[in-house]
Structure 1
Amino acid sequence: MNLSLHVQGRIGGGLAIVARGDLDYGSAERFRACVDQALQQSTGVIHVDLQLVTFMDSSGVGALVSAAKQAERAGTRLVLQNPSAALVRTLRTAGLDDFIGLPPA
């Protein structure tokens, strides 16, 4: 499944990126570009809603890490929202609990 990305404003400030589909090799660069665009529009927190992400490979993990670093350099934060249990396991296995700010186990 392809990845669709939708950027929307949030009540109280910041932006949300709603992702749907597979965050993988074929979509990682598009995700990074979307985060870059969101960073140009917002100085607040950027929320990445992963509820509808059905699959993530190592390229997707790399895209999240890259996006978090990019946000940090821009003086903001990237916050993951609604990751599935499978995505949380993938990110924890990669040792990214603290870096990406996963919900408590």
Structure 2
Amino acid sequence: MIDAWAATVEFNLHVQGRIDGGTVIVVRGDLDYAALDQFRTCVEQALQPPPGILYVDLQLLTFVDSTGVGALVAARHHAERAGTRLVLENPSSMLQHALRTASLLTSFGLPPA
């Protein structure tokens, strides 16, 4: 089981294994430019070795901007190159709106509104 914490003042990530397999990154706080490098590093570490599925739990996400959306897209591409599927769990209506605006809902497997 992976169990690691990475924290800044307003943003932190918790990485853990799942009983049914895969790896979970729990995002807490604002996913924006200030959190970009930390999120990218966390995704890279979570993909070593590649789990079957990488879950990104967004239940505690408080804000996302275009940089954060871009980070999620980059994470999805990185996971795909590693042979892993990225799944967004508990996306807020705010995040779904941002993904809808960017025409990215279906690329993350979320139903169009």
TM-score over 0.5 for the pair: yes
From 6, 19, 23, the equivalent of 2:27 is 19
How far apart are 1:100 and its partner, in Å? 1.7
Q: Which amino acid aligns with 2:52?
A: G
Judge conservation of contact 1:13–1:44 (CA < 8 Å) in 2. yes
Change in 2 beyond 3 A, CA 1:89/1:69: same
Counterpart position of 1:69: 77
How is 1:1-105 mapped onto 2 (pairs within 5 angstroms)?
2-103=10-111, 105=113
Q: Distance between the aligned counterparts of 1:104 and 1:94, measured in 2?
A: 12
Counterpart contact for 1:29–1:63, Cα < 8 Å: no
Give aligned pairs, total: 105
Distance in 2 (alpha carbons) for counterparts of 1:8 and 1:41: 13
- Offset, 1:104: 5.3
Task: State the distance in 1 between where 2:51 and 2:60 align.
Answer: 25
Q: In structure 2, what residue type is equivalent to 1:68?
A: R
Show structure 1 runs of 5+ residues with no match.
none
SS across alignment from 2:47:
helix
Which has the bigger relative contact order, CA under 8 A and spacing at least 6? 1
Give ranges in structure 2 of 5+ residues lacking alignment: 1-8
One-letter amino acid of the counterpart of residue 23, structure 2: L
Identity %: 63
Structure 2: distance between partners of 1:13 and 1:78: 13
